[in-house]
Structure 1
Amino acid sequence: MNATINSFAILFRETLQNSRKEHIGLDQEIKVLGHYVEVEQLMAQKPFECNFDIQTTPDPEEILIPPMLIQLFVENAIRHGILKGDKNGKLQIKFRTTKTHLHCSIIDNGLGIFKSQNEKSKTDHQSMALTVTKERLESIASIDTLHITELKNEDGSIEGIKITFKIPLLTDY
């Protein structure tokens, strides 16, 4: 219990600090995402693993991004995909750069966005978070920058979700 409270306190403090900034370093965003995933792992009813794949030039501490842009996708992957699925959860968060853009991918092995949305529509709660984040991404990058793809096995069953987007590469030098 103390580990959960401590991890949540760290996450809460970092989120508040970052929310007041126009840009933060990618390294800071990765750190906050790591703390967020840790809190979710501590609270989850079943275990899941997460790994980060970072292939950027320049280094993550030199890349600037808007704060609180990626966490929503990670949260959705965990809560609406991995934790509702029946297999051991796997989450991968990838960052790579080209000369002009930072590319981000969030890949999970959850039950799939359409199945999750169908189950969600049975309640009165409909989240606006994805719509707002999509609009935010489009104002930063361009229309049609966000792509959500269901990953399928050879037999057509859902293997998970892959969310990708890119934003213009901004550095602090």
Structure 2
Amino acid sequence: MFSGTDNGTEKWCDANSGSFTIEHIAFGRYGYVRELDATFEQYCNGSTVPLRGAVHAVMPEPPVELAMGMDVAPEGAVNVSDGRITVGGTVTCNKPASVSLVGQVFQVQKKGTPGASYETTVACTPGAPVPWSVSLTSQEPGTSFHPGTATMRSRARADDRDYPVTVDTGQEESQVTLSKA
């Protein structure tokens, strides 16, 4: 229904018919409309005189897709009195993202294999690597971390704010040297 005024007299379009024809449309990734050319024609209240028009739209470049990376620092620290370790690294991204980091750390020893899992979130901003770290104690009963080499399996994930996609680095395995804190 269309309502408008003509010289102070209100006009209504209670019954209308017409058409809308898309002449050209070009899509980008994820359904982003890049270009649109369309025409329309409308008849109001049985009128034989149509309202006609055309639309031509060229959209700006779509936002870039999220790209990110994760690095694990080759050095970590261990508190020898309680076996607590601190490990970390950096994440990078080409646009702001909330990055979820998950992984495990384990250390093969003669008397057992201490291990721990972690999950943390980092607010990544583009421009420079963003540091992250976690402090962990062994979840295996009767074991604790010691100075030496440990294995770290890590993965980073983030949802792209502009597209329906989750970016995932995949699981990466790294060796970390734990030194006395």
Tell me the TM-score normalized by structure 1: 0.24
RCO higher in 1 or 2 (8 Å CA, sep ≥ 6)?
1
Tell me the TM-score normalized by structure 2: 0.23
Report the structure, 1 or 2, having the larger strand content: 2
